[in-house]
Homo-oligomer: A and B are copies of this chain.
Amino acid sequence: MDRDQGERDDEAPGRPTLKTLAFMTGLGVTTVSRALKDAPEIGAETRRRVQLVAKQIGYRPNRAGVRLRTGKTNVISLVLNTEREIMSFVSDIIYGVSEVIADTPYHLIVTPYSRSQDPLDPIRYLVETGSADGVIISRTQPNDPRARYMLERGIPFATHGRTDMGLVHPYHDFDNYAFAAEAVRHLAGMGRRRLALVTPPVGLTYHGHTVNGFTDALSEVGASEVPFNTVSIDHSIEQIRMRTAQVMRRQDRPDGFVSSAAAATLAVVAGIEDAGLKLGRDVDVVSKQSSELLHLFRRELLVVNENFRLAGSELARSVLGWIGGAEPGSLQSLSLPGEVVAYHRPD
């Protein structure tokens, strides 16, 4: 009827809003809002018209407006430990997540926490302030307080690594049991019989998986374990190196290593060489890596690749799926390790 609000409408040079669209189309803001989301009670022609104009003038909904009204933030938070995260993990997982949310309205915020803090702190902050619609966490524990907390509050999340609490939630994990077992079998196949394991950080779920795969395969192939559990991949390069050198100077030294991370592997190799031994002759090492660098380091190294970018994508897909109403139980994935790969000289 009286759409003639008249000339008093601001010739806003700023960003177009629903009001702008309403003015341009001669409709009410409500109609415009509904037309843009394909509501059925808007006429087909009107709908097309509004959407056309919106596209033409490059309308983008104001995030603050939506967020204030609906509580939806359109934000996914990636929670990271500032000291202990594997370097390539950070980079790759961010890109993996980015890939997936690229054509969605979602933004990715990085929420860091430091060694000194309770890992629950950043989660509490996110939940209490309602800063994200979904959360991705790493360094998952069998009984993870963060997962429990978010499950209680009903906030969608996905974990990198599994929990073991009898609770169901989305996750993505690399099959570290299979990795460790395969590594042992490979070493055994090369005649190695006394194996040491450079474990993941104690307390994380995949520590257990890795250890189990390792020991199960050991007994399967009839090899034995050389205890090496005073360090993990969380320890410093220097600590791992020293400990390796130490164990390699004993006469009951290992003739094979399985290492859960590339950086630790560098330290192990350095330690081996500190003890005057030679990789490939006195000892073999199978290592996980997330970028193709270990073969450049020492061509004798045996590697298994873990794709963190894929992990990021899967985790993002899971969280978005949960936000979108899918069953958490259907948003779990496990990535199987490839073969142990040895170096082939390009020629």
Inter-chain contact A128/B87, CB cutoff 8 Å: no
Q: Which residues of B contact A63 (CB under 8 A)?
A: 67, 129, 131
CB distance from A338 to the nearest CB of B (A): 19
Inter-chain contacts of A129 with B (CB < 8 A): 15, 60, 63
Cβ 8 A contact of A109, one of B58, B62, B109, B293: B109
- Does the CB pair A131–B107 fall under 8 Å? yes
- A198: interface (CB < 8 Å): no
Given contacts A63-B129, A130-B15, contact A292 B110 (CB under 8 A): no
Q: Does A35 contact B (CB under 8 A)?
A: no
Size band of the A side of the interface?
35 or more
* A220 at interface by CB-CB < 8 Å: no
**Chain A positions 194 through 238: 1 when the CB is less than 8 Å from some CB of chain B, otherwise 0:** 000000000000000000000000000000000000000000011
In the complex, the chain B residue whose C-beta lies closest to that of A262 is: B293
Residues of B within 8 A of A112 (CB): 94-95, 98, 102
Does A261 lie at the interface of the complex (its beta carbon under 8 Å from any beta carbon of B)? no
Q: Is the CB of A108 within 8 A of B109?
A: yes
CB < 8 Å: which of B65, B90, B102 contacts A90? B90
Partner pick for A91 among B68, B85, B297, CB 8 A cutoff: B85
* Contact status of A237 and B110, CB under 8 A, knowing A68-B62, A87-B87: no
Q: Which residues of B contact A293 (CB under 8 A)?
A: 237, 263, 266
A326: B residues at CB distance < 8 A? none
A246 within 8 A of B: no
Chain B residue with the shortest CB-CB distance to A58: B128
Give Cα A75 to B107, complex, Å. Answer: 11
Contact bitstring A82-116, B, C-beta under 8 A = 1, else 0? 10010110111011001100100001111110000
Q: Is A330 an interface residue (CB 8 A)?
A: no
Cα A263 to Cα B87 in complex, Å, equals 14
Q: Shortest Cβ distance from A250 into chain B, in angstroms?
A: 19
- Copies in the assembly, this chain: 2
Q: Smallest CB-CB separation from A295: which chain B residue?
A: B270
Note all chain B residues with C-beta closer than 8 A to A68: 62, 64-65, 68
Closest to A14 in B: B130
* Residue-wise interface mask of A (126-148) relative to B, using a CB-CB cutoff of 8 A (1 in contact, 0 not): 00111100000000000000000
B95 and A82 contacting across the interface, CB-CB below 8 Å: yes
Q: A102 to chain B: which residues have CB within 8 Å?
A: 112
For residues 268 through 317 of chain A, which have their beta carbon under 8 Å from a beta carbon of chain B?
Answer: 269-270, 291-293, 296-297
Closest Cβ of chain B: how far from A8's Cβ, in Å?
15
Query: Is A50 engaged at the interface, CB distance under 8 Å to the other chain?
Result: no
CB of B297 within 8 A of CB of A266, answer yes
Given contacts A87-B87, A110-B110, A263-B293, 12 further A-B contacts (CB under 8 A): A58-B128, A60-B128, A62-B68, A64-B64, A85-B91, A87-B291, A95-B112, A98-B110, A237-B293, A266-B296, A266-B297, A297-B297
22 contacts between A and B (CB under 8 A): A15-B130, A63-B129, A64-B64, A64-B67, A65-B68, A82-B95, A87-B88, A87-B92, A88-B91, A94-B94, A94-B110, A98-B112, A102-B112, A107-B131, A108-B109, A108-B110, A110-B110, A237-B293, A237-B296, A241-B296, A263-B293, A266-B296
5 smallest CB-CB distances across A and B, nearest first, come from: A64-B67, A90-B91, A64-B68, A98-B112, A266-B296
